[in-house]
């Protein structure tokens, strides 16, 4: 509290002024004594009312000091500066928020455009890897199954081709390592959940081999789902990474810990289409085909190649359909070596090629989904930027119109 102390010095009066004041006071007393009692009462009442309602003057030091204690005079603070919010009108604040939001949308659009171009460059290499690897995989499967069919007449025990009663199933779930790819990871995880529910309904036991960071984080948060191993797919699948998965699958099936191995991955169909599928990996089918759990055989002899090109400064896709080059095998084969040795050499290669193919197709599907998602995000950012710019221009125009009206009204008032 700041108190204001006031010191008032009275100027000494002259003799003539004192004499005049004394005569005036005697005259007032004489006139007051000449009044009637009723008039005296009314005069006293009026004087009392006037004294109570009067404001304290500067000559009244006590009243001035009392008022200063109750309501101290604010002293100017030279260190404090006026707040920014008090000097900014609500319209200006709203315009600033809109500008900040438009800038944020522009920066986000730049990021999505960059991610779209990166995914488009990577998906081309991944697509070529899938297309180039399919002929080898198809040829290997046909050779292996032809040999297996020829050996069905002989009494040869091949563990990977032996079909036994199913009590436990191993599910190899292939997911991606990164997000921002739409519903790619969610679709394959939902497919795995549906398959787990079916196995539970059949009363079968199961275990999961998770491949991919997204699948690993999903199953780690659900300890009630038994997981045998967590593996990473990598940004560019290689035979070494596929061999790690194949070794684990091979050991589980040979040791009879599981009676069936199913492979769940996203099949790459085109840049705009991919579908989660389930294939039976082990045991081998007696026919020269790869079949899914419903008995539908996969025909990958015909592929569609999608090439990214640029026309008029925009990315376009050209589609080309061709047949995969596969060799025809004679049903009658002569083996120079022991057929069991040939199968022992081909079966690990078969597992490796099938898992590598699944990893490559899953990666191509992930990149295609990311490219599509980033393209949609860029389009949405462009639409949002346009709508925000329209709102900003309308508010700015309304502000300018209001200022002009105020200026005109002030000029008319002065006139």
Positions marked catalytic: 181
Residues 174 and 233 sit within 8 Å (Cβ to Cβ): yes
Residues 276 and 225 sit within 8 Å (Cβ to Cβ): no
In this structure, the strands spanning 273-282 and 290-291 are unpaired
Please report where in the chains the tokens 């991944």 appear, as a residue: 126
Q: How far, in Å, are 169, 191, 197 from residue 203 at the CA level? A: 11, 19, 10
Residues 250 and 356 sit within 8 Å (Cβ to Cβ): no
Angle of helix 339-414 versus helix 184-201 axis, rounded to 10: 130
């Amino acid at each position: 509290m700041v108190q204001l102390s006031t010191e008032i010095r009275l100027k000494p009066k002259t003799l003539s002024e004192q004499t005049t004041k004394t005569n005036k006071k005697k005259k007032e007393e004489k006139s007051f004594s000449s009044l009637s009692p009723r008039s005296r009462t009314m005069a006293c009442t009026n004087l009392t009312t006037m004294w109570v309602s009067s404001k304290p003057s500067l000559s009244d030091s006590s009243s001035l000091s009392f008022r200063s204690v109750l309501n101290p005079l604010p002293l100017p603070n030279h260190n404090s500066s006026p707040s920014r919010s008090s000097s900014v009108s609500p319209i200006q604040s709203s315009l600033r928020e809109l500008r900040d939001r438009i800038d944020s949308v522009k920066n986000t659009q730049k990021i999505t455009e960059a991610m779209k171009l990166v995914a488009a460059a990577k998906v081309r290499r991944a697509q070529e890897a899938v297309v180039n690897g399919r002929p080898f995989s198809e040829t290997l499967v046909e050779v292996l199954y032809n040999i297996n069919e020829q050996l069905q007449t002989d009494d040869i025990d091949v563990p990977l081709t032996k079909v036994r009663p199913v009590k436990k199933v191993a599910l190899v779930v292939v997911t991606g390592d990164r997000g921002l790819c739409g519903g790619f990871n969610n679709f394959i995880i939902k497919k795995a959940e549906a398959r787990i529910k079916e196995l539970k309904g059949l009363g079968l036991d199961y275990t999961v081999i998770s491949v991919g960071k997204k699948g690993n984080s999903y199953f780690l948060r659900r300890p009630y789902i038994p997981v045998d191993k967590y593996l990473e797919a990598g940004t560019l699948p290689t035979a070494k990474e596929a061999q790690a998965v194949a070794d684990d699958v091979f050991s589980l099936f040979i040791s009879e810990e599981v009676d069936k191995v199913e492979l769940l991955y996203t099949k790459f169909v085109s840049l705009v289409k991919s579908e989660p599928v389930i294939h039976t990996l082990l045991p081998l089918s007696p026919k020269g085909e790869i079949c899914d759990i419903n008995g539908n055989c996969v025909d990958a002899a015909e592929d569609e190649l999608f090439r990214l090109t640029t026309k008029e400064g925009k990315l376009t896709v050209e589609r080309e359909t061709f047949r995969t080059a596969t060799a025809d095998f004679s049903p009658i084969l002569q083996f120079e070596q022991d057929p069991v040795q040939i199968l022992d050499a081909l079966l690990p290669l078969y597992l490796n090629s099938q898992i590598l193919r699944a990893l490559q197709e899953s990666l191509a599907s992930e990149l295609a989904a990311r490219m599509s998602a980033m393209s949609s995000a860029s389009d949405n950012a462009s639409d949002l930027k346009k709508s925000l710019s329209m709102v900003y221009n309308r508010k700015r125009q309304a502000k300018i119109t209001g200022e002009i009206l105020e200026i005109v009204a002030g000029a008319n008032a002065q006139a």
